[in-house]
Amino acid sequence: MRLSRRSTVAIGVFVLLAIAVAAGGWYETRKAAPGARAGDSSVVANVTNGADRGPGTLREALFIVAAAEHPAVISIQTKSIALETALPPIVTAHGLKIVATTAGAEIDAKGLQSGAVLDIAGADTSIEGLTIRNCMNAGILLRASQFRLHSSTVDSCDVGVEVAENASDVLLELNHFTNNRVGVRFAASARNTSLVKNEFIANKDAGLWAVRSAPDSGSNALGVRENKFTESSIGMVIGNVSVIAERNELINAREAAIHVVGSGAQVRSNRISGGASMGIVAENAKAAIIDDNEIDGLAAYGIMVRGSSNTLVRNNRVHNCGYGMAFVLGDPQNPTTAVENTVIEPKFNGIDVVGDSPILRRNRVLRPRALALHVEDFQPPGGQKITAKPFLDNNAFGSAADASAVVGQSAPKPSVSKQ
C-alpha cells in the first residue's frame, strides 16, 4: 500500500526528532562522566567519592587528568576525602584547576604516613577553596612553575606549603595557614612569586620560613605583603633568601615577629604589636634594610641588631616596649646605620649599644623610664674587651656637652658630631 505524501513527511519528522532526543541524552551522559571534555577546551573530572581509591575518588580524577590532552578541571563535590596512601604526583601537561565546589571540602591526611598530600610536579596548576589538614609532612609540595593557591586552608601539618628551589611564578593569596609547624617554607627565592593577604595563625616554629645556608644568588625577591601573622613562635624567618616583607601585620609572636639572618632581607612598613619577646631581630645580617616599621607593646626590644654589618635601620617607630633598639657586637669596619628612628616611652632604655660602633643619626628617644642611650663595652670571659664607640650625629637624647649623662658608667665617651 502506497503511503500518502503527508504520511511520508510525518514519518520523516518523527525519525529526526527521535535522533535528536537520543543525541541529547548521549551528550548529557558524556558531559557528566569523569574525564569527558567540556566543550572543546577542558577535561572535567568530578570527585564524588571521599574514599582513598575507587570510582569517583580524587585518586581516579588525578589519573584521568594526567592523560588529558587539554586543560583539565577537578571538581571536588564531596565534603571530606580520607587519604590512606600517597596520591600520584600532579603532572598534567596542559594545566589543571582543582576547585572545591562543595563549601568546606577537605582532604584529611591523618591516615597518610609519608609524602606530601598534593605533589605539584606539573606547571600551570591552581587550587581554590580546598582545606588540607592533619598531614605528617607537607600539605602541598611545589616543584613546578605557575602555581596558584587561593582561598584555601592548610591546618595541622608539618609544613603547609613546601616550595622547592626550582619553583617560579607562584601566587599564594587569601589563604589560611593554621596550627602547622611551618606555614610556608621556601628553599630559595623564586621569580615572580608573592604571598599576599594570607593569614598565619599559631604556627609552632614560624609562619614563613625562607632560609638557605649560603646567600641566594638569584636577584628575584619574594614579595611578602599584606599578610597577618598571629600567635606564632616567629612570624617570619628570613635567612640568605631575597625577601621584601612589607605592609604585614604581626601580633603576639612568642620569640620574635621577624628574624633576619644573613643577606637579602628588606623589612618595610610592617606593623608589629604585642608579644613576650622582640619585634625585629637582625642577626649576622649583611646589608639588611629595616625601614618604616611601627612596633608597639613588646616585652623586650623593638629592634635588635646583633653581629651585623652594613645594615640600615631607618624611620622606624617604637613605642611602649620594654626597650627601644639595641646594637650588639657589630662589624666596626662596616657599621650599621640607624637614622631618623623614634622611640617613645620605653619601660627601660631607649637605645642600648653593647660592644658595637653603629652610626646613630637624627634619632629621638622620648620619655624613657631609664636611660635614653646606654653604651657598654663587651667583655667575653677570658677574652679581649670589645669597645663600644657609637658615632652620634644630631640625636635628640642629649647634646655633645651632656652626652655622658646617658652613657653607662663602664663605657668610654662616644664619638659625637656637631654637624
Please write the tens of the pLDDT for every residue from 189-235. 999 999 999 999 999 999 999 999 888 866 789 999 999 999 999 99
| CA 286 vs CA 330, 334, 336, 386, 416: distances in Å | 10, 9, 9, 20, 25
| CA 205 to centroid of chain Cα atoms | 13
**How many degrees, rounded to 5, is the angle at CA 234 between CA 228 and CA 240?**
100
In the prediction, which pLDDT does 216 show?
A: 80
Least confident piece of the model among 181-185, 260-264, 355-359, 411-415: 411-415
pTM of the model: 0.86
To the nearest 10°, report the CA torsion of 261, 266, 271, 275.
0
Residues 6+ apart with CB under 8 A from 51: 57, 82
Domain boundaries, the chain: 78-417
Query: For the chain, how far is it from start to end, CA to CA, in angstroms?
Result: 121
In the prediction, which pLDDT does 93 show?
A: 82
Alpha carbon distance 17, 128 (integer Å): 42
To the nearest 10°, report the CA torsion of 223, 228, 234, 239.
0
To the nearest 10°, report the CA torsion of 89, 95, 101, 106.
20
Alpha carbon distance 254, 202 (integer Å): 10
DSSP single-letter state for residue 27:
H
In the prediction, which pLDDT does 416 show?
A: 42
The stretch 380-396 carries a mean pLDDT of 93
pLDDT higher than 90, residue 96: yes
What pairing do the DSSP bridges indicate for beta strands 36-38 and 72-76? Answer: unpaired
The architecture of the domain spanning 78-417 is: 3 Solenoid (2.160)
Above pLDDT 70, what percent of the chain? 84
| CA 153 vs CA 162, 195, 207: distances in Å | 14, 14, 13
Over residues 276-322, the pLDDT tens digits come to 889 999 999 999 999 999 999 999 999 999 999 999 999 999 999 99
Closest to 110 in 3D by CA, of 76, 152, 141, 82: 82
To the nearest 10°, report the CA torsion of 93, 153, 230, 317.
40
In the prediction, which pLDDT does 226 show?
A: 98
- Dihedral angle sign, alpha carbons of residues 355, 250, 186, 246: negative
SS3 category, 317: strand
Share of the chain residues as helix, strand and coil, in percent rounded to the nearest 5: 10, 45, 45
- Torsions phi, psi for 340 (to 5 deg): 60, 35
Over residues 121-158, the pLDDT tens digits come to 999 999 999 999 999 999 999 999 999 999 999 999 99
